Amino acid sequence: MRTDCIIYTILGLLLIALLLGSGCTQTPAATGPSEIKIGVVASLTGPASTTGKDIWQSAELAADEINARGGVPVRELGRSLPIRLIPGDDESTREGGMKAVTKLITQDQVSVLVGGYSSAVVSAHQSIVADNKVPYIISGASSSAVSRRTDLDTSYMFFHRPNTDDSAEASIRFLTEVFRPAINAKFGFSGDRKLRVAVIYQDSPFGKGQLDAVKALIPAKNLPIEIVAEEPFKMGESDFRTVLTSVKSKNPDVIYAVTFLNELVPMTQQARRDVGLNTVIMAIENNDDPDYYSGVGVYGEGMIMESRFSPYAVPAGSTEAATRKFLSDFDKKYGGFAGMMGAATYESVYVAAAAIEQAGSLDRAKIRDALATIRVPQMMEIMKNGTIAFSPEFRESKFDLYVVQLAMDQKSGEPRPVIVWPESLKAGEFSIPDWYTPGSP
């Protein structure tokens, strides 16, 4: 009996010592988080998964680089923390995006969100972000209707991309300043002949945003452009033959195509190959992706595209070294080239890290305030004033955009882009393709 008492007393003392000891060793970790959680909203499955993979891998590359340098200093905690990325697969759908963002915010308790591609998908989960007040650096969703909506509080959302007005303005400026004079000269058209533009657009906020921007720009700047066709198509469409037949009957000089990558490839192929539409297609920046060049093949030769980051056409100047390093590091890690959405998300992770460092805290409100005033030197994409900063009213960053033209590369058997506009960035001259036929005189 007495022996039992001694044993139980010793065991009890050992237990108390163990608990106290474990408490002592756990104390430092219990004072704060051990990592910074950043949610990456990307279409990892579904029709936009090619771009989604690009977004995730580029974010991962940025986080690895930051962590290799010791992480992000957080003043309030008195130490640096590593970044842990958490994927949020929006499944290329509005519902999938809502589900993913809800999980990232409520279950994973992320400090910041980055990513977001489709305007339609992002617009569906904006209310969740607004309600939970989580800073969100959106690298896609170019529709101005997404960044400038007034039905909910967008003050926690920061848009690191040109909006549809910006990209439409760059494209239309190129068509007016370069394309129209070139066809007038080549085909002997009179100087007052209006350029005949057919707009084929995705029936989504992204597509409608571009169409509205183009239609508003022409009368506002009194441009010599006539919209001869407005043809919508549903998101994910792969059969454009009838729409292209309709466009062909309107005799356009150029097709302004507002598409995703998986739509532009069949549209370009079907235009040239099936419908015999020998008209140049002007595409939007989100298609400047290695998969477009490999997918479109010979039918891409001579086509043009507004861009802000091109895997194969690196503008000379202050961003060249950073771009080449990013492309090389991405190739080493994943094999292949990153696209524009990857570059924008890579930069977004760095901007998020800079905002956390500036805020000195993982508090979402403080990070949001830091983002509102942040000034990060431009990285790969050429920014206005050389700085990534968000405008006060709608929190949009501003880019210097350019236009590329595709020329066949015999070595790879694929077309490759050459920057042909603006003057300050161009690496080659725009030329009318041999196969091109203009619209009605």
Decide whether 80 or 246 has the Cβ nearer to another protein.
246
Decide whether 50 or 147 has the Cβ nearer to another protein.
50
Q: How far is the CB of 405 from another protein (least distance, A)?
A: 22
Decide whether 33 or 336 has the Cβ nearer to another protein.
336
Question: What are residue 36's DSSP bridge partners?
Answer: 83
Q: How far is the CB of 416 from another protein (least distance, A)?
A: 19
Decide whether 231 or 396 has the Cβ nearer to another protein.
231
Decide whether 198 or 359 has the Cβ nearer to another protein.
198
Decide whether 132 or 245 has the Cβ nearer to another protein.
245
Decide whether 36 or 229 has the Cβ nearer to another protein.
229
- Exposed/middle/buried for residue 332 (C-beta within 10 Å: 0-12, 13-18, 19+): exposed
Question: What are residue 207's DSSP bridge partners?
Answer: none
Q: How far is the CB of 297 from another protein (least distance, A)?
A: 7
Q: How far is the CB of 102 from another protein (least distance, A)?
A: 22
SS (HEC) of the chain: CHHHHHHHHHHHHHHHHHHHHHHHHHHHHHCCCCCEEEEEEECCCCCCHHHHHHHHHHHHHHHHHHHHCCCEEEHHHCEEECEEEEEEECCCCHHHHHHHHHHHHHHCCCCEEEECCCHHHHHHHHHHHHHHCCCEEECCCCCHHHHCCCCCCCCCEEECCCCHHHHHHHHHHHHHHHHHHHHHHHHCCCCCCCEEEEEEEECCHHHHHHHHHHHHHHHHCCCCEEEEEEEEECCCCCCCHHHHHHHHCCCCCEEEEECCHHHHHHHHHHHHHHCCCCCEEEECHHHCCHHHHHHHHHHHCCCEEEECCCCCCCCCCCCHHHHHHHHHHHHHHHCCCCCHHHHHHHHHHHHHHHHHHHHCCCCHHHHHHHHHHCCEECCCCCEHHHEECCCCCCCECCECCEEEEEEEECCCCEEEEEEEECCCCCCCCCCCCCCCCCCCC
Q: How far is the CB of 47 from another protein (least distance, A)?
A: 7
Cα gap 228→222, rounded to integer Å: 16
Decide whether 153 or 203 has the Cβ nearer to another protein.
203
Q: How far is the CB of 295 from another protein (least distance, A)?
A: 6
Q: How far is the CB of 274 from another protein (least distance, A)?
A: 5
Q: How far is the CB of 251 from another protein (least distance, A)?
A: 10
Decide whether 228 or 371 has the Cβ nearer to another protein.
228
Decide whether 67 or 286 has the Cβ nearer to another protein.
286
Cα dihedral 88, 92, 98, 99 sign: negative
Question: What are residue 421's DSSP bridge partners?
Answer: 403
Q: How far is the CB of 181 from another protein (least distance, A)?
A: 28
Binding residues vs another protein (CB under 8 A): 45-47, 49-50, 203, 231-234, 236-243, 245-246, 248-249, 261-262, 265-266, 269-270, 273-276, 291, 295, 297
Q: How far is the CB of 222 from another protein (least distance, A)?
A: 28
